[in-house]
Structure 1
Amino acid sequence: MASTFTSNDDTSLFNFVVKDGNGVKGLVDSGLTEVPSRYIQPPHHRINKELAAESLANMTIDLSELDGPNHDQVAKAITHAAETLGFFQVVNHGVPLELLDSLKAAAHKFFAQPAEKKAVYLKGVSPSPVVKYGTSFVPEKEKALEWKDYVSMTYTNDADALEFWPSECKDVALEYLKTSTEMVKKLLQTLIENLGVKFNDSRLEELVGFRMVNMNFYPTCPNPELTVGVGRHSDMGTLTMLLQDGIGGLYVKKGENASPEDEEWIEIPPIDGALVINVGDTLQILSNGRYKSAEHRVRTTSTESRVSVPIFNAPSPVVKIGPLAELVARDGMARYRKVIFQEYMNNFFANSHDGKKSLDFASA
């Protein structure tokens, strides 16, 4: 766009990147050779690739076996991952591999557009609340901004998606959502049944009644060691499904209670054709703490721009979430209180990323 910025002037930089919709990509395209101070993270938030613990290659699950003679073994692997790290990867998941390639191409196509084409979807001017283009997470509240641009597409119905989602990616994003929905429900059903609870279809549907497809774009960064693509956080919903490209950079925290100096972060390796699944806060609440929402973050890279495409599956906004009654009776206590999911979501989006602090909203 026509606006300009001075990298050491926070106001002009913020207006250029956030308000005018140029995003981080606009900074990079301007010929920036070093990261502006507004993007430099405090040392304890930076990601040291060399210090990462072992990778997650051994937590890849073949979902085609969930319907076969190995059902019990596969279900056990899914629940073990949900109880420990909160992350696993799935292959033979039923989403066409050609579609995954098309998604990555569509994401690059959307973000390659001139800023004015993307800025029509900025909050406050977007033609529909189901589409939002932006940068960082809550830039107005962040001391250090995240090195990321995104477009977010909330699903209400096919007609709205086809009318309002960006033309560069709406068809492939809608197909991605539709071809993965049954797989997500099957995973959720497996996890709920493992808790000794039976859910009918309508109750299961309530837990994935809110679905949002994001396309994330992480431009090349001149000083990746000083920045983060996404800060440490957990997701708000039940299950998140994520397509990585082949570049890597997604890290998950190992263990909940380690002190900052003893934390271990595991990189989730990009596996061709795989989808990453992670547990969100809602599932931790429903399971009364048995399943762990995964604290994760994303590093940047100086070599090439990276894209990722998550689908956030969450309860319908009007649904009241809380620990399942059967588990409260069995555990003798509720570790979380009941909350309307819309209220949980409002709190989540009102605060900058800060580990798993979002869960405090539902603490008993």
Structure 2
Amino acid sequence: MSPSFNDDNSLFNFVVKEGNGVKGLVDSGVSSVPDRYIQPPHHRINKQHTTAESLENITIDLSELNGPNHNQVVKAIAHAAETLGFFQVVNHGVPLELLESLKVAAHQFFNQPVEKKAVYLKGVSPSRMVKYGTSFVPEKEKALEWKDYVSMIYSNDIDALKFWPNECKEVALDYLKKSDEMVKKLLQALISNLGVKLDDSRLDEFTGMKMVNMNFYPACPNPELTVGVGCHSDMGTLTVLLQDGIGGLYVKKSEELSPENEEWIEIPPIHGALVINIGDTLQILSNGRYKSAEHRVQTTSIESRVSVPIFNAPLPVSKIGPLAELVTRDGVARYREVVFEEYMNNFFGKSHDGKNSLDFAAI
């Protein structure tokens, strides 16, 4: 018999405070989406606003970065960063068996009994580097997101292996380490395309904080009423994302279109590919030339799905602002310099709301 949630408080306590998450809700036998998860119509994914536009032109073979087509590949990466803010990469150097193992490990973590996951809830987790939760900032959201997650911040290998959950720590750490070279190459390509020279230590500063998330989207009885993740852009520099084969990731085609005319493109899952997206930090550093991508995730009634992003962001103490050479060239700074920790606190201080997080650094 499924538990009865007489009011918002009993639902919130069960899902958020006790750590049952959306998975616990589904496992309890709910046959329809509770009111707290029903999004207002303008936040739902309207199929009339989605396009099946081919994305083959933004699938980039990274093995060619080291060959005679280097300049062409850099131009393709930069073009994707300047327009959609999203692209996919193949031949990226991260072993395909590792990617498959990540999906398995994510399912293993979320399929555990709630008491095994709840030890990582905010406020009780043995380490600030690991947090298990649901939705984005449930305390601030009018409608909750249909997603559970575990978030693992990286400081060093020893702490990761000590504090990250046993079910996924080794594979998550391997994923982070094996993707590091690719992230460096992509950032070098994007910065060099701006005509700016930065030494390795400066580039490393822009990706000094790394976090691996495992996201779990349980099958949803009324997917048309909910979202897995609401409209937002990522706060960091570059995000690397592993999708499973189910799909549901949508990117806004243009910031200029009005809400009634906006178009969303689905990023199709490609076996063995990784999705790359530009974050707010890179939009700020590039003085607005590169676009952080507004994106969201749809739920599905077919089966539960997972995704595994790595967020590459500056260290909290780093200052981020438009690169000086670009301000000189453009004749204007479009953003002010901010301490990244302040930007981050603002980002996590409210619910997802498109790209409004960038307003914090706007001039």
TM-score, normalisation: structure 1: 0.98
- Indicate the residue corresponding to 1:13 in structure 2: 11
- Indicate the residue corresponding to 1:214 in structure 2: 213
Contact 1:5 1:12 in 2 (8 A): no
Question: 1:7-52: CA deviations, max 9, x gaps?
Answer: 4510000000000000000000001100000000000110134541
Contact 1:57 1:269 in 2 (8 A): no
Contact 2:287 2:327 in 1 (8 A): yes
Contact 1:234 1:294 in 2 (8 A): yes
Contact 1:55 1:266 in 2 (8 A): no
How far off its partner does 1:55 sit? 4.2
User: 2:32 aligned to 28, 31, 34, which one?
Assistant: 34
What amino acid maps onto 2:26 in structure 1? Answer: V
Contact 2:49 2:261 in 1 (8 A): no
**Whole-angstrom distance in 1 between the partners of 2:92 and 2:47:** 29
- Indicate the residue corresponding to 1:70 in structure 2: 69
**Whole-angstrom distance in 2 between the partners of 1:49 and 1:184:** 33
What amino acid maps onto 1:338 in structure 2? Answer: E
**Whole-angstrom distance in 2 between the partners of 1:142 and 1:354:** 10
SS at match of 1:58: helix
TM-score, normalisation: structure 2: 0.98
**Whole-angstrom distance in 2 between the partners of 1:214 and 1:55:** 28
What amino acid maps onto 1:182 in structure 2? Answer: E
- Indicate the residue corresponding to 1:319 in structure 2: 318
**Whole-angstrom distance in 1 between the partners of 2:273 and 2:266:** 15
- Indicate the residue corresponding to 2:232 in structure 1: 233
**Whole-angstrom distance in 2 between the partners of 1:332 and 1:127:** 49
SS at match of 1:150: strand
SS at match of 1:354: coil
Identity of matched residues, %: 81
How far off its partner does 1:313 sit? 0.2
- Indicate the residue corresponding to 2:275 in structure 1: 276
SS at match of 1:196: coil
What amino acid maps onto 1:132 in structure 2? Answer: K
What amino acid maps onto 1:21 in structure 2? Answer: G
How far off its partner does 1:246 sit? 0.1
Q: How many residues of Structure 1 are paired with residues of Structure 2 in the alignment?
A: 361
What amino acid maps onto 1:342 in structure 2? Answer: E
**Whole-angstrom distance in 1 between the partners of 2:189 and 2:254:** 23
How far off its partner does 1:257 sit? 1.8
How far off its partner does 1:5 sit? 5.0
Contact 1:55 1:269 in 2 (8 A): no
SS at match of 1:47: coil
- For structure 1, the 5+ residue unaligned runs are none
Contact 1:5 1:13 in 2 (8 A): no
Map 1:338-349 to 2 at 5 A: 338-349=337-348
Map 1:107-186 to 2 at 5 A: 107-186=106-185
- Indicate the residue corresponding to 1:86 in structure 2: 85
How far off its partner does 1:59 sit? 1.0
Contact 2:239 2:278 in 1 (8 A): yes
Q: CA RMSD of the aligned region, Å? A: 0.9
- For structure 2, the 5+ residue unaligned runs are none
